[in-house]
């Protein structure tokens, strides 16, 4: 279960509300455990407005969490594409230029296309990336 602080932080971030008071490091809200219950002990209504409902906090957290996962999926796609950039160079698979040459460039191009699709439209859930092909070289 998500901590109250995480939900309030997500609510503030998604609603462009400050986490600290202007020109200060003082927080605009404070959460802590009181009698073993996660509780908001301070909420600055002058800066943040009305305290959000549980439904508003839950919705904000779900949206925020989805955005974080999307960012992770995009970052992973960029890393995977970067690691296989060399396979997209035409001369790597051209026997007239390279000896040895990559014989399964089409597999890499297909793989990279699938990875790129995830990177361009990242899901809000952890992505299942395709398996990178093993380079096969001419002898």
Q: Is 97 left (phi over 0), alpha (psi -120 to 50) or beta?
A: alpha
**45-87: per-residue pLDDT in tens?**
999 999 999 999 999 999 999 999 999 999 999 999 999 999 9
CB within 8 Å of 79: residues ≥ 6 apart: none
Q: How confident is the model at residue 2 (pLDDT cuts 50, 70, 90)?
A: confident
Residue 91 shares a structural domain with residue 34? no
Our count of domains for the chain comes to: 2
The model's pTM is 0.77
* Type and span of the H or E element at 40: strand 37-43
Environment class of 122 (CB within 10 Å of its CB; exposed 0-12, middle 13-18, buried 19+): buried
85 shares a domain with 133? yes
Q: 75 and 39 share a domain? A: no
Helices 105-120 & 54-83 angle (0-180, nearest 10) = 160
The answer as to whether 30 is a domain residue is yes
Q: Are residues 93 and 120 in the same domain?
A: yes
57 domain residue, yes or no = no
Task: Quote the domain boundaries for residue 105.
Answer: 69-139
- The per-residue pLDDT for 1 is 54
Q: Tell me, yes or no, whether 74 lies in a domain.
A: yes
**Residue 61: inside a domain:** no
Burial (CB count <10 Å: 0-12, 13-18, 19+), residue 18: middle
Instruction: Quote the pLDDT of residue 48.
Output: 95
Give domain status of residue 58, yes or no. Answer: no
Residue 59 lies in a domain: no
């Amino acid at each position: 279960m998500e901590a109250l602080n995480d939900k309030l932080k997500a609510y503030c971030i998604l609603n462009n509300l400050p986490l600290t008071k202007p020109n200060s490091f003082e927080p605009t809200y404070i959460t802590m455990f009181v009698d073993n219950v996660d509780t908001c002990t301070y909420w600055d209504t002058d800066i943040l407005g009305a305290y959000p409902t549980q439904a508003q906090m839950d919705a904000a957290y779900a949206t925020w969490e989805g955005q974080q996962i999307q960012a992770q999926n995009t970052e992973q796609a960029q890393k995977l594409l970067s690691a296989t950039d060399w396979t997209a160079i035409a001369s790597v698979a051209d026997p007239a230029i390279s000896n040895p040459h990559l014989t399964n460039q089409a597999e890499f191009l297909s793989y990279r296309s699938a990875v790129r699709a995830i990177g361009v439209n990242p899901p809000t859930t952890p992505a299942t990336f395709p398996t990178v092909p093993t380079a096969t070289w001419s002898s």
